[in-house]
Amino acid sequence: MIFVFALFLLTLLVITAVAIVRTENLFVAVMLTSIYSLLMAANFFILDAADVALTEAAVGAGVTTVIFLSALALTADREKHRAGRRPLILGTVSVLTMLIIYATFEHPRLGDPEAPVHQHVAPWYLEKTPEYIDIPNVVTAVLGSYRGYDTLGEVFVVFAACIGVLFILGVRRGDAATPRRERTAGLRHHLIPQLVGRMLVPFIVLFGLYVQFHGEYGPGGGFQAGAIIATGVILYALLEGEAAALKAIPRSVLLGLVVGGASLYGAVGVTCMVLGGEFLDYSVLSDDAVAGQQLGILVIEAGVGMAVCGALLSIFHAFAARESQA
C-alpha cells in the first residue's frame, strides 16, 4: 500500500518538476516549487522521516515561497529567453541523467536491512541511545549529541547565509519610506484574511514552541521550530504590514537571535571544555551523565531554533524593505 502511495507521490513530483522547467511565468514556477516541496514532505513522511518532513514542509513549502515571492516583487515575473546553447544544455543534462540512472543500479532496495547504511553506525545509535541519552527520538540524539559538530556547522552556515544576504540587500535606509509603507502595508483593508490570520498567528507560534521543546520526544527540534515560528511572524507581517512586524520584533532583536543562537551553541561546547569534558560532550554538564546529555541537547536545540528563526526573518525583512523602497 505504501509502495503504491510512494509511486503516486513520486510520479506527481516528476510531473511538477517538468512543469517547473517548462513554465515561463516565474510566479507559476514559485507556486509549483512550493507544491514540489509539499509533495516531497509527504514523501519523506511515508518513508518515516518525520523530522525531515516537518522541515521540508515549513521551510520548503512555507518560508522559501514567501521569500521567492518577495524576490519576484523586485524583478520581472517572466523568464527571459536566451538563444543558443540548447544542445550543450541538453547534452549535459542527458549525460548526468545517464550517470544517475547508472548509479541507481548499485542502490540497495528500499528498507533492505543489509543496506550499508544500516550496517555502519546506525545500529549502535539505536542500541545505545536509551543508555547514554535516554530520549525516545533517536534523530534528536544523533543530531544534537553524536553529530553535534555537524549541527554546529549547519548553524554557522545559516548564520553565514543570513549575514551574506544582509550584506547584499542592505539593512539600512528605508526610514524615509516608513509613512508610505504604513499606509499601503499589509492586507489591512481585507477583513476576512486579516481576522482569520490574527486568530492563527498565536497558535502557529505556540505550535513552534511545542515542536522546539518536544523535539526529544517527537519529531521536531530547533530547525523545524525556528522555521515554524518564522512562518507565524511572516504571516503577521503579511497581514499587518512589515512595519508592524518590525515594531513587534525589531531588527536588532532578530540579529541578536541569529548571533545569540550561534554563540549559545558554541558556548555550550566551551562550557563542556571548561567543566573538564571535550568540546560538545554534554555528559559533564550535570552530575548525572544522562541528565547532562539531555540538558545539553535542550540548550543547543534552543540555540538552533533562535538562529534559524532570526535568520529567516532577517532575510524576509531584507527583501521586504527593498520592495517598499522600489
Chain residues in the site for another protein (CB under 8 A): 25, 190, 192-193, 196-197, 199-200
Residue 326 vs residues 71, 75, 184, 321, 323: alpha-carbon distances, Å: 12, 10, 14, 9, 5
Cα Dmax for the chain? 68
Q: Which is nearer to another protein, 29 or 298 (CB)?
A: 29
Which of these, 161, 157, 143, 158, lies nearest to 280 by C-alpha position?
143
**Cα–Cα distance measured from residue 254 to residue 248, given in angstroms and rounded to the nearest whole number:** 11
Inter-residue contact 133 to 290 (CB < 8 Å):
yes
Quick one: 141 or 238, whose CB is closer to another protein?
238
Nearer to another protein, 25 or 92 (CB): 25
Minimal distance in Å, beta carbon 255 to another protein?
32
C-beta of 57 vs 141, nearer to another protein: 57
Nearer to another protein, 118 or 190 (CB): 190
Integer Cα distance of 217 and 136 in angstroms: 5
Q: What's the closest the beta carbon of residue 138 comes to another protein, in angstroms? A: 22
Q: Closer CB to another protein, residue 25 or residue 94?
A: 25
Give the residue with the Cβ less far from another protein, 204 or 268.
Answer: 204
Degrees, nearest 5: CA angle 90-95-97 = 95
**Cβ atoms within 10 Å of 51's Cβ, excluding its own:** 21
Q: At its nearest, how many Å lie between another protein and the CB of residue 192?
A: 5
Cell of 24: 515561463
Nearer to another protein, 117 or 199 (CB): 199
Least distance CB 196 / another protein (angstroms): 4
Please, which residue, 74 or 195, has the CB nearer to another protein?
195
Q: How far is the CB of 267 from another protein (least distance, A)?
A: 36
Smallest distance from another protein to CB 193, Å: 5
